[in-house]
Chain A
C-alpha cells in the first residue's frame, strides 16, 4: 500500500486533462505508440466526436522512482459543469489531485470550482501549468493567478505539455513524492467504495470500486451495505486501460468487479461493499459515500410516432443502466401524447442523453424545451415540487412559486466587469462578491435563478465577453419569485408542450420571442397558421405563419408520373418527423423554441 498513489486530473474544460493522461499512458508503457490514439480514455463515441470527456475514467500505471516501482491509479475527469458530480466521486477515490491549468488561458471558473472540491475532500492538490509548448503560454503570470485565487503554492508548479510530453516524467515523480499513499487497513474487514458502474448484456452490472480496507478476490461473496443484498464476485480486475482480470484487489487499489448484478438500483454510486460473513469479516460502519447527483433541468421526450412508446421506454431503461444520473418518469401531453419527463444534470447532459437515445434505439423523438423544477405552495398549504410547466396548477390555487437559485462564479478579464454586471441585472442576478485574480482578471460571484442559466445566460455571457468569461455554478436553494405560466396556442389550439414558466417582468418579451421563433420553425401550410402567446386568457403576443404561396410542379406527363409521385411521397415522408397538432405539422425543433439562444453547452456542441 505504501507503493500506491491514487490521483485525479481536474481542470477547466479543454485545459488538456485527457491529453496529459495520454502522455502518462505512453510514458509508463501501458500503451504502445502504435496503439495510442488521442484522448484514449474518452472511449464513448460521443466523447470522441465532441472532443470532451463525459465520464470519468480510471487507469493503473506502473512508475519507478529511485529503483522502486509504484502503482499509480489515475482518474481522468470531465471539465464541464454538468459533470461536476463525476469529479466529486472521482476525488472520493483519491488522495491527490493534479489541478491542471492551461498556461495560455489561466484560472477559469471550473478551475476554481474543481479545486474547491478537491480541497474540501482533503486531497493533496498539485497545481500544474499545461500547454507550455505554445508561444502564448504565460506560466509565471498564471502561477501568480493560482496563488492569488486558490491560495495554493504555485511557485514551483511543474511546467508540462500534454502535447510534447515535456515535463511529464518529472510530474509522475512528483506525484509519487507528494501524493500520500492510501491510509486503509489491508488486514481489516473489506470496505470498498462504489465509484461508478456500467452495464453490458453479458456481464450485467460491472461495478467500479476503490478498495479502502481489506482484500477482495474472485468467488468472494459480498454484501452491499445499504441494502444488505449479496452477490458472488465472478471476476475482478484493473484498468490498463482496458479491463484486465486479476487475482485480487486490495486496500488502496482501484478496479472493477462483476457478478450477476442485474439492476442498477441495487448498486448505488457511493455504496460500500463488504464481505458476506462466509467470505470474511463484514465491516460494521460504511464509508461516508456521497449524495446522488440532483437533476437540474427537465424536459419531456416523446416518440414521434406514438406507436414507438415501448421502444422508447426500453431505450431509456437501457441508457439509464449506464447513466444513473438522469431520471425519467411517465408523462402525458395533450398535444404530444404519452412520453417521459426526464431530469438531467444540465443542458449538455440533456443533449448527450438525447443523442444517445436516438442513436442507440433508432426511435425518433420529440423533445420539449428544458425547464427547471419549482416548489409550488398551494392554497391548502402543501408544497409540491413540479418539474414541468404543464404541471403548474391553476393560478387560483397557488400561494407562492419558488424557483431554484444557483451561485454562479464568473471568471472574466476586468474590462468585461461592466458587461457582466449588465448581464446580471437583466438576468435577475444578485451580486455576492468580487475577487481579484491577478492584474487583469476577476472572479465575480452572483446568485442567479437557474431558469435564466437554462434560458440564454451562458450564450449572453460568452458574447458579452467575446468568449473570455467562464462560468461555473452550484445549486443554492429555492426562492419565492413572481412567476407566471406562458401558454402557446397554435392555430387556436393550446399546445401544452410549448408552454413555459417565466418571471412576470419578462413575460411579454419572452412571449414575443417565442412566437417569432415558432413562426420561423413551423413550415408554411396550405392555410395561415396563427401563433399566440397568452398568460391566463390574455393574449400577449401573436405571429402568423403565412400560407404557402406556390407549390406546384409545372410538368406532369406520362414519364413524369412515377418520379413526381415518388418525390411527393418522399417529401411527405420527410414531414413525418413532425408532430401533428390538429392540422398543423410542428417540426421537432419548434418544441425547443422556448429555449433561449441555445443555452449553456459549454461551447462544446459544435466542436468536433
Chain B
C-alpha cells in the first residue's frame, strides 16, 4: 500500500501522515523479557536489511513526503555499523532533516560518540531515548541487560555534549524480587541526571519470552498486582513532585518536552512505519509488516517494497471509534470529542453510556469537554479498555 492520496471514505485519515517510524531490529544481545521484532547483529543481514528498507521507502512513501517527526526504533538503531549508518543516511537524511523531532533509541553502553555524531549530522537526531531500565547492578543482571549503571550518566553526558536537545530515559519496575526501596533508588539516580523525559514501564510478561517460560516453570516469580500498583503509585507521585507531567500511562515529561512522535499514535493520527514488524495507520487501515527481519528483507528484495506489508486490518468505524477512545484515554489529554472528530473523523456519541458507567465506577472524570482517567482509572486502563472495546455481545452474535 502506498501513500497515494487515499480514496475519500468516511473522512477517516483524511490528513496525510506526519510521522515516520523506521525500525532497525539489531541488538547486541537479546534481553530475556523482550518480544520485539529484533535480530542478532550480523553485517551480512544488516546490509540486506538496509537495502530492503530503502526499497520499501521508495515504494511506499509518496514523492514530497515531509514527516514532522521521525523515530528510529528497534532493536538498537544506534548499534548500526558505520557503513550501515552511511547507507541509511543516504536516503533517509533528506526526509529526516526537515523534521521537527528526530528520536534515536540507544543503549547506554553501546552509544558511541562517532556513531552519534554521524547520525546527528546525517539525520538531525535531536532526541535520544536511552534504555537505562535500572541503576541496580543486580536488577540489570536479572533483566539480562548488557550495560552497567555507570554507562547511563556517561551516555547522557555524551548526548548533551553532542548537542542533543532532549534526553529521555527508560526505566523499568516490577522485575522479580525488586523492592520499593529499589524503585526509589532508581528514581533518585534517574532524576539526578535531569532528563527531559522519562518512560517508566512496568515489566510486561510477554508470552513466549524466556522470562514468561521461566515464570511458567516456577523459576521466576512476578511481583503481585498489589505490589505493582504500589510501585506505580510511587513512581507517579515522585515524578510529579519532581516537576514532570504524567501525560501517558508510562510517559513523564518536563513541561513542553513530551514525545511528539508518540502522541501521533495515541491520537490515532496517520503514521507510516518502515522495516520488519513496523505498523502504519493509513486511511483508517492498520498495516503490519512482515515480522521476521530476514523474511522481511527477502520479501521486499524479491517481490518489491509493497511486499513489506503482511497484514491489512480495516476496522469498521464503530470499532475504530472504540479503539481511538481507548488510546486517547491512556493520555492525560484524554478523550476530546471535538478532537476525535477532527483527527480521525469519528463521532464519539455512541460511547456516551459506556463512559458514564465507567465514570460511575470512579474510573473516568469529565474535565470540561474532555473525558480523562482518574488516578485509579489509569491503574486500570486495560480494564477500562476492555469495557470500551466490548462489542455489543448479543447484537454481535445475532449478526453472526
Is B41 an interface position by the 8 A CB rule?
no
Tell me whether A568 and B386 are in contact (CB under 8 A): yes
Contacts of A555 in B (CB 8 A): 201, 204, 250
Interface segment among B130-138, B224-232, B293-301: the answer is B224-232
* Minimum Cβ distance to chain A for residue B207 (Å): 10
Please report which residues of chain A, range 332-381, place their CB below 8 angstroms from some CB of chain B when the two chains form the complex: none
Given the complex of chains A and B, what is the CA–CA distance between A569 and B203 in angstroms?
22
* Minimum Cβ distance to chain B for residue A588 (Å): 15
Binding site secondary structure of chain A: loop
Is A307 an interface position by the 8 A CB rule?
yes
**Total residue contacts A-B, CB cutoff 8 A:** 115
Tell me whether A526 and B361 are in contact (CB under 8 A): yes
Tell me whether B250 and A554 are in contact (CB under 8 A): yes
Given the complex of chains A and B, what is the CA–CA distance between A437 and B250 in angstroms?
73
Is A548 an interface position by the 8 A CB rule?
yes
Tell me whether A572 and B386 are in contact (CB under 8 A): yes
Interface segment among B115-123, B270-278, B343-351: the answer is B270-278
* Minimum Cβ distance to chain A for residue B216 (Å): 18
* Minimum Cβ distance to chain A for residue B175 (Å): 13
Tell me whether B394 and A550 are in contact (CB under 8 A): no
**Chain A positions near chain B (C-beta within 8 angstroms):** 305-307, 526-527, 548-559, 561-562, 565, 568-569, 571-572, 575-576, 583
Is B244 an interface position by the 8 A CB rule?
no
Q: Which residue of A lies closest to B388 (CB)?
A: A568
* Minimum Cβ distance to chain B for residue A254 (Å): 47
Given the complex of chains A and B, what is the CA–CA distance between A291 and B389 in angstroms?
55
Tell me whether B286 and A561 are in contact (CB under 8 A): yes
Q: Which residue of B lies closest to A580 (CB)?
A: B393
Contacts of B327 in A (CB 8 A): 556, 561
Contacts of B386 in A (CB 8 A): 568-569, 571-572, 575
Is B253 an interface position by the 8 A CB rule?
no
* Minimum Cβ distance to chain B for residue A545 (Å): 14
* Minimum Cβ distance to chain B for residue A524 (Å): 9
Q: Which residue of B lies closest to A567 (CB)?
A: B382
Tell me whether A561 and B398 are in contact (CB under 8 A): no
Q: Pick from B201, B273, B382: contact of A559, CB below 8 A.
A: B273
Tell me whether A554 and B202 are in contact (CB under 8 A): yes
Subset of 13 A-B contacts with CB under 8 Å: A548-B225, A550-B202, A550-B229, A552-B381, A552-B382, A553-B204, A555-B201, A558-B271, A558-B278, A558-B279, A561-B327, A569-B389, A572-B386
Of all A-B residue pairs in the complex, the 6 with the closest CB atoms, nearest first, are: A550-B229, A554-B201, A552-B381, A559-B279, A549-B225, A549-B229
Given the complex of chains A and B, what is the CA–CA distance between A561 and B264 in angstroms?
12
> Contacts A559-B273, A559-B288, A565-B326: A554 and B379 contacting too (C-beta < 8 A)?
no
Q: Beyond the given A550-B226, A562-B279, could you list 4 further A-B residue pairs with CB under 8 A, ordered by the A residue number?
A: A527-B362, A550-B225, A558-B273, A565-B326
Given the complex of chains A and B, what is the CA–CA distance between A553 and B326 in angstroms?
12
Q: Pick from A552, A559, A569: contact of B277, CB below 8 A.
A: A559
Give the interface centre of B229, B232, B278, B393 by most chain A CB atoms within 10 Å: B393
Q: Which residue of A lies closest to B385 (CB)?
A: A568
Contacts of B398 in A (CB 8 A): 307
